[in-house]
A and B are shown apart, each in its own frame.
Chain A
Amino acid sequence: MAQLTLDDVTKIFHDDDEGEIVAVDEVSVDIEDGEFLCVVGPSGCGKSTTLRMIAGLEDISSGEIRLGGEIINDQPPAQRDVAMVFQSYALYPHMTVRENMAFGLEQSTDMSDEQIAQQVEEATDLLGIDDLIDRKPGELSGGQQQRVALGRAIVRDPEVFLMDEPLANLDAKLRAEMRTELQHLQERLGVTTVYVTHDQTEAMTMSDRIAILNDGKLQQAATPLECYHEPNNMFVAGFIGEPSMNFFDVDRRGSTLVADDFEYDLSEETARELGDRTDLTLGIRPEDIELVEGGSGAHDYAGVVDVVEPRGSENTVHMTFDASDSANFVATVDGMRDVEWGEHVTVRFPEEAIHVFDSATGEAVRNRELDSVEKVEPIV
């Protein structure tokens, strides 16, 4: 069993000018055997540092990292039985593909040359790069180099794969292909994987679970759909989902949320969930905003279309409320629906789709109802 556990892992960098910088702040997460965990967050959130601590490339300031129950804090990288794929691929430019892949086995095992050759061959077959085996990295395309870098990790047959934005240097089409391929590969090999990315699409589509980091702190570790529908806080809500969730500052007066541009009446049930908090933020995802014809319901508001971004399957519509200097918000509508700049429309914020956050702490007070969406996977 190669269960990887991070227990209150903290990394403090000492800087001469700025003193102590806490890069990773008491992050705790359990990664099950064979699980694919994506660590996402904006630049500088500590995700790469976390990965490097697991790899052993950075010291751990405090806390524990356990692999299969054994504390690996003080083990050198080579003894941890982890393999890492770097964003720059980090291939050895003077070695052929074969030598690149064999290097790890030569250095860390007592295998005979034949065994190594065989293992390298299996890995290249698996990745479909067997015809490139005698070339050097300089003669390969970005995608091929990427495969070799993956192969170098696979051939070692490690307990854990660590991937640091491995697809970031590929073009969009290839990235999408490799995403699928990586997923297949990971499922097939069943190796516990920690995958760092700043791209929430990668995180959403590939992972069993997502760990979202911000400012070195773990915001939420849950399945992609949970993060999407039941975010712990405003950061997660805003980070996951494209386009991002719309947020409106609201004051609560009784069972009404009062924003600058609109008032939102809450049902009794929702109002009860909010307790006695008054300083709140209303959140609604663009795809939950409905454009209705001449509606006059409780949650219908007059809006003006500002910018339309057609995406083919859907249109992203930037809108304002029907008032001067009102807040902007974004709605996503069907691609076949014709919306034009300056058009006056009625928008509906359905109550079952709204999220409410505590403005001071950012904590989610109320998340959308899930009856209307598909069943969420159970927590692993």
Chain B
Amino acid sequence: MSTESRNPLSKIQEMENSRIGLYAVLLFGLVFYLFPVETAVMTMFKTQQSFIETVPFAPPSADGFTLEALTTAWNTLRPGLINSMIMAIPATILSALFGSLTAYGLTTISWRGQVGVVVFIIAGIFIPYQAVLVPLAQFWYQILPDLLNGFVNTVFGFATGGNWTYPIRNGYLQLFQLSVTHAAYGIPICTLLFRSYYQSISDEMIEAARLDGATAFSIYKNIILPLSLPMFAVTLIYQFTQVYNDLLFALVLVNEPSSQVATQRLAALTGGVVQSFNTTMAGAIVAALPTLLVYIVFGEQFAKGVAGET
């Protein structure tokens, strides 16, 4: 068949069945995933009246179009978005970094009792959030402040006069506490991800580096770390999404209104008596933007990491 006479139909005829099947599945997947998003986007530009009158996925009519919902959502969520970033970015980076270091120590360096530590860490993945809520709140609101109050007033008593108190109600401190909590909670899963990745790294290469005179930390810095960039993308995306989307820990640990994170603000936005779908949808889209951005930025590395490329 000559190339000039090609039309879409003949192309399809030439295709193998498996390829047609693949495209069909992909098309289905595309529609399946994007249809709700399209509905949400359409809804957020509609007035309440227009929403009632039209089907959810149809675009708004000229007089049914409004930016009011989006503006409301944006104004409500904006402080929350910033707080979420302040909290989620360090938490994500710390989890990934500690996970990577822990995994390195548990694979490439051999020492007694490794297996026990691995089991212990993996068990950490399966602790449900709900199970730690009470001890977590007690730790941040009672145990730690008591300890610090005692410590500071004893050691630096000459300066504080024994009156120093841990600023429990400081909004940024609450964000910091939430961040640390998420970082700690993320270490087990990050360790597991990095560990399986490091197990595929050639032992001979590490031995070569040892013979080259590199110390354990130097091997990590010069060889393991540069090679784990794809895995960092995976853990960063995964961990960021987890931390950013969490509402439970935020509800327990952050109670200063000025420090509320995006998920808390979103809950407030949609929690009104009258259900206004357009602001709800606008809020959902705005709140989802950061995670979308993270996926776009690290997408390529993510694919490499998932495919196990080194």
Contacts and interface: CB of A to CB of B under 8 A. Distances in A.
Contacts of B205: 88, 90-92
A84 B213 contact: no
Contacts of B213: 78, 104, 107-109
A55 B211 CA distance: 8
A362 interface: no
A93 to B, nearest CB: 7
Contacts of B227: 93-94
B169 interface: no
* Tier of interface size on chain A: 20 to 34
Interface stretch (B14-22, B117-125, B218-226, B290-298): B218-226
Interface string A69-101: 000000011100011101110111110000000
A88 B213 CA distance: 19
Interface string A291-325: 00000000000000000000000000000000000
A105 to B, nearest CB: 8
Interface string A173-196: 000000000000000000000000
A228 interface: no
Contact of B212 (A76, A88, A107): A107
B208 interface: yes
A contacts with B: majority SS: loop
Contacts of A103: 209, 212, 214, 222
Contacts of B204: 86-88, 90
Nearest to A149: B208
B218 A84 contact: no
A90 B205 CA distance: 4
A156 to B, nearest CB: 8
Interface in A100-129: 103-104, 107-109
Interface in B182-219: 202, 204-205, 207-215, 218
B227 to A, nearest CB: 6
Contacts of A77: 207, 210-211
B218 A92 contact: no
A57 interface: yes
Interface in B257-306: none
B208 A90 contact: yes
Given A88-B202, A94-B226, A103-B222, A78 B210 contact: yes
B310 A93 contact: yes
B309 to A, nearest CB: 10
Given A103-B222, A107-B218, A90 B210 contact: no
Contact of B209 (A76, A83, A87, A92): A92
B214 A107 contact: yes
A68 to B, nearest CB: 18
* B207, B211, B222 — most chain A CB neighbours (10 Å): B211
A13 to B, nearest CB: 13
> B interface, how many residues as a size bin?
10 to 19
A57 B207 contact: yes
Nearest to B222: A103
Contacts of B215: 107
A55 B214 CA distance: 14
B212 A108 contact: yes
Contacts of B214: 78, 103, 107
Interface in B219-238: 222-223, 226-227
B202 A104 contact: no
A184 B208 CA distance: 24
A368 B218 CA distance: 56
A91 B204 CA distance: 9
B202 A83 contact: no
A84 B211 contact: yes
Nearest to A101: B212
A156 B212 CA distance: 8
Interface in B61-80: none
Contacts of A108: 212-213
Nearest to B201: A93
Nearest to B206: A90
Residue among B202, B208, B209, B227 facing the most chain A CB atoms (10 A cut-off): B208
A88 B80 CA distance: 52
Most buried by B among A55, A56, A107, A109: A107
A160 to B, nearest CB: 11
B212 A90 contact: no
Given A88-B204, A90-B202, A90-B205, A57 B223 contact: no
Contacts of B208: 84, 86, 90-92, 152
A271 B111 CA distance: 59
A99 to B, nearest CB: 9
Given A88-B204, A90-B202, A94-B226, A57 B210 contact: yes
A152 B207 CA distance: 13
B212 A82 contact: no
Contacts of A152: 208, 212
Interface of B: 202, 204-205, 207-215, 218, 222-223, 226-227, 310
Interface of A: 55-57, 76-78, 82-84, 86-88, 90-94, 103-104, 107-109, 152, 156
Given A55-B211, A57-B207, A92-B205, 9 more contacts: A55-B207, A77-B207, A77-B210, A90-B207, A92-B222, A107-B212, A107-B215, A109-B213, A156-B212
